[in-house]
Amino acid sequence: MTGCIVGWSHMPFGKHEDEDVESMIVKVAAEAVADAGFEPKDVDAVYLGHFNGGFSPQDFTASLVFQSSDDFRFKPATRVENACATGSAAVHQGLNLIAAKQARVVLCVGVEQMTKLPGKQIGETLLKASYLKEEAGIEGGFAGVFGQIAQAYYQRHGDQSDALALIASKNHANGVHNPYAQMRKDLGYEFCRNESEKNPFVAGPLKRTDCSLVSDGAAALVLTDVETALGRDKAIAFRAAAQVNDFLPMSKRDIIRFEGCGQAWKQALGAANLTLDDLSFVETHDCFTIAELLEYEAMGLTAPGEGARAVKEGWTYKDGKLPVNPSGGLKAKGHPIGATGVSMHVMTSMQLRGDAGDMQVKDAKVGGIFNMGGAAVANYVSILEPLR
């Protein structure tokens, strides 16, 4: 264990017309530092996760954290980006700085404002997280990328429409209990399974209910070394943290295997000296329902081609043997790109503290997180447990 989460803040995700990137950063940064029992002057370094890519006109954003307090002035602040894993990239950078004994207290913030762009531009901006030399022409933006992945999986392993609808309905049912979720509505299996005017096909076999929501939002957390964390009220330790990157072009990989995801899980579980059976729950990256299905297989929950078993047999439900996305996941919570990874760490910490309210997984002792950028290109796994 090299670092612990000792405080956090999370604003509701959704469409925030009266906010901008700066105001959301300021709000969660101040709240997280206070929640950890520190003052801004106690913070040694800041990492801001902000994808941007054109979502916001303000592109140089690291020092916007300082707008929450003049006492941040002259501290190192760095913006990091790794596509949809940007938030976890910020958290892992903070961990690395503490492990190197270059800092004792690190503030990590994740933010994104996506909804102020017109729909067509949102798709074009998201597609920048693919390999444009080969994938720029894919219709439907990033949904089109995952539509192609879903189609390839169907061709190899058969139609998975039932399983994808179960994943969508499971996550929306969980999201009802998440006060930070953008959509708190139980859509039901039948609605998610059937094409309709309100649930049309978007890309390939993927319907609207298979796609995460365009969202605005921010989350923040404070990291410290273990010695400092022992004196804090909240102390959630990193049992392990792993990052694995894969080739950017889909053409260089067997795209339905999510090998980078599998490698990241293997490294993290090995470092933690744990197996999947030791985890109480997982927050995983369901940017599209097909992604969650593939992640079941990549993490080793099922054999390749058998991911549907995990949801059809109830394993990944809240009362199953490995609950997956008790927060509702990106599907219900929303997916403000830079904030997502930080949000996952906050949600997991709440579970391990027993502070998750109606989201709470019974007897949660060890939580796993998988956050990815692109189509399993940047892969981050964190394994968390209470320090005491």
CB 54 within 8 A of CB 125: yes
Q: Of the candidates 160, 121, 149, 122, which has an alpha carbon nearest to the alpha carbon of residue 302?
A: 160
Question: CA angle 327-268-352, nearest 5°?
Answer: 35
DSSP 3-state of 275: coil
Pairwise CA distance, residues 240 & 382, whole Å: 6
Name the active-site residue from 4, 84, 192, 287: 84
Name the active-site residue from 10, 16, 285, 335: 335
User: One-letter amino acid identity for 310?
Assistant: A
Residue 1: band (very low, low, confident or very high) from pLDDT cuts 50, 70, 90: confident
In this predicted structure, the answer to whether residue 67 has a pLDDT above a threshold of 90 is yes
The pLDDT value given to residue 139: 86
pLDDT above 70 covers a percentage of the chain that reads: 100
* Tens-place pLDDT, residues 186-244: 999 999 999 999 999 999 999 999 999 999 999 999 999 999 999 999 999 999 999 99
**pLDDT (mean) for 35-44:** 98
Q: Mean pLDDT check: name the lowest of 56-60, 77-81, 140-144, 378-382.
A: 140-144
Give the DSSP letter of residue 72.
Answer: G
CB 239 within 8 A of CB 385: yes
Query: Domains of the chain, with CATH numbers?
Result: 4-117+214-229 (3.40.47.10)
Cα 23 to Cα 66, 220, 251, 331: the distances in Å are 11, 13, 40, 25
* Tens-place pLDDT, residues 264-310: 999 999 999 999 999 999 999 999 999 999 999 999 999 999 999 99
Task: Say how many C-beta atoms besides its own lie within 10 A of residue 155's C-beta.
Answer: 10
**Residue that has been written with the tokens 């990989």 in this structure:** 253
The pLDDT value given to residue 308: 98
- Which tokens go with 158? 């058969």
Whether 84 sits among the annotated catalytic residues: the reply is yes
Give the DSSP letter of residue 214.
Answer: P
The pLDDT value given to residue 69: 98
Task: Say how many C-beta atoms besides its own lie within 10 A of residue 184's C-beta.
Answer: 16
Mean of per-residue pLDDT scores for the chain: 97
Facing residues of 222 across strands? 7, 107
**Residues 6 or more apart in contact with residue 265 via CB below 8 angstroms:** 242, 298, 299, 300, 368, 370, 381
Whether 335 sits among the annotated catalytic residues: the reply is yes
| E strand or H helix that includes residue 113 | strand 105-113
In this predicted structure, the answer to whether residue 263 has a pLDDT above a threshold of 90 is yes
Pairwise CA distance, residues 317 & 312, whole Å: 10
Pairwise CA distance, residues 106 & 221, whole Å: 8
For 141, list phi and psi in degrees, rounded to 5.
65, -140
Pairwise CA distance, residues 369 & 295, whole Å: 11
Pairwise CA distance, residues 120 & 72, whole Å: 38
